[in-house]
Copies of this chain bind each other. A is one copy, B any other.
Amino acid sequence: MIPAPPPTTPPNIVFVLIDDMGYADLSCYGNRLARTENIDRLAREGVRFTQFYVSAPICSPSRTGLLTGQYPQRWRIHSFLETRAANTKRGMAQWLDTKAPSVARELQKVGYATGHFGKWHMGGQRDVGEAPLITEYGFDTSLTQFEGLGDRILPLLDADDGTPPKRYALGSDTLGRGSITWLDRSKVTGAFASRAQAFMTEARAKNKPFFVNLWLDDVHSPFFPPKAVRGDGSKKVLYNAVVQEMDSQLGPLLEYVRTIPNTIVIVASDNGPEPGAGSAGAFRGQKGNLYEGGIREPLIVWGPGLVQPGVVNEKTVVTSVDMFPSLLKLAGVAQAHDGEELSEALLGKKQPLRRRPIFWKRPPDRPGPSARERFPDLAVREGDWKLLCMADGSAPQLYDLKTDPGEAKNLAREQPERVRQLTELLLAWNKTLP
């Protein structure tokens, strides 16, 4: 909506999404059982977040939050997309509606080359073969696996016991609508990365910025790392071998990206760990539930010259749906508005509670009746509380509008913690203004 001035050169964006990897499974987040050197290096050279949340503790809705910038349940994607019958039984859509917003489509509109490589899982799996193609969601091209349509790589599971490798397709090989390549599961990450790299090269040849989803699927059961690193064959060992191998296979792509100026790489995981495999560290819970372990994930943002190096952001709570407005802002097509959609209140049908605070700033030419008596510079209302203060946060006035609509009784002294919180919120808002 807001045509912000376009940046000198819109940045390239590569979004690496890992599958079912827990909060503490990268070594830069504390893993001692696997080394993720390439990703760790991105973290050292970029920003590492400790308070990143996905929109759901399971694949399909988590991915929907990233793509659409909306809570996935708005599109009836509550859990992982399964068979037609299972989707219906759980009250879910069969696939993500193509009318849903798509950050890829918005970037495509403003001239980005857009590619999706890897797991999709927003439609076109099991027996659901008539779902839209990934290219209908704003991607110029795609290569996926058994949870998406179009050209795909399906894995061969090699048990390393002398028997032929088994095909693992979950029905995808019967759906048509794209070419199928069978590949040893331990090599799939490299294949997706290599295809993504070729796409970037093509985009550069066309002088287009690129937006690439590289959504890996190896770090998800069944775990089939290369033979050499299978150790005792236990679930934990196999899992950590897969994590480390995923990092290794990303290496060449990340080296290539270093040669391309103006490029941002984002690394995250889609939901919490499967029990017995990954780890959420100190957090409670796992894949599938809403405790922190199910929804708090790694997030690393890297981009020499664009992204501040060596930052650990323990303060900003970021969530998947923030990617939509944030990436568009980075591309110079910011779309935010400050309001809340309250049409049902306007129509008198409901009386919803407001979800966001409201902020105000005093006109500069209305300082107050005298030098001694100044009007407050700033104000915020959150719930029934209203805080007014000067631009530096001083002279706070706190009122409970429910019991004191006339703002007669200043409760700032009685409630220092609330004053602190609201002042911080208000000053942070003020700083967003030009």
Which of A's residues lie within 8 Å of B, judged by CB?
1-5, 46-47, 49, 53, 55-58, 61, 68-71, 73-74, 76, 78-80, 86, 90-91, 99-101, 106, 264, 266, 282-285, 288-292, 295, 301, 303, 306-309, 311, 313, 315-327, 329-330, 334-343, 345-366, 368, 375-376, 378-379, 381, 383, 386, 388, 401, 405-408, 421, 424-425, 428-429, 431-434
Contact = CB atoms under 8 A, between A and B. Distances in A.
A329 B5 CA distance: 26
Given A337-B70, A366-B58, A307 B351 contact: no
Report the 5 A-B pairs with minimum CB-CB distance, sorted nearest first.
A308-B348, A79-B363, A288-B366, A321-B339, A47-B348
B3 A99 contact: yes
Given A73-B361, A99-B3, A347 B308 contact: yes
5 contacts: A4-B99, A288-B362, A321-B338, A329-B341, A355-B357
A54 to B, nearest CB: 9
Contact of A363 (B56, B291, B313, B316): B56
How many copies of this kind of chain does the complex include?
2
A304 B356 CA distance: 30
Given A58-B363, A321-B337, A321-B338, A383 B288 contact: no
A341 to B, nearest CB: 4
Contact of A290 (B91, B326, B360): B360
Contacts of A339: 69-70, 319-326
Given A291-B407, A292-B405, A352 B432 contact: yes
A90 B86 CA distance: 62
Given A69-B338, A353-B425, A381-B317, A78 B292 contact: no
A153 B346 CA distance: 32
A341 B322 contact: yes
Contacts of A295: 360, 379
B308 A360 contact: no
Nearest to A389: B290
Contacts of A91: 364
A361 B308 CA distance: 34
Contacts of A352: 316, 428, 431-432
A318 B288 CA distance: 36
B346 A326 contact: yes
Most buried by B among A57, A282, A290, A341: A290
A329 to B, nearest CB: 4
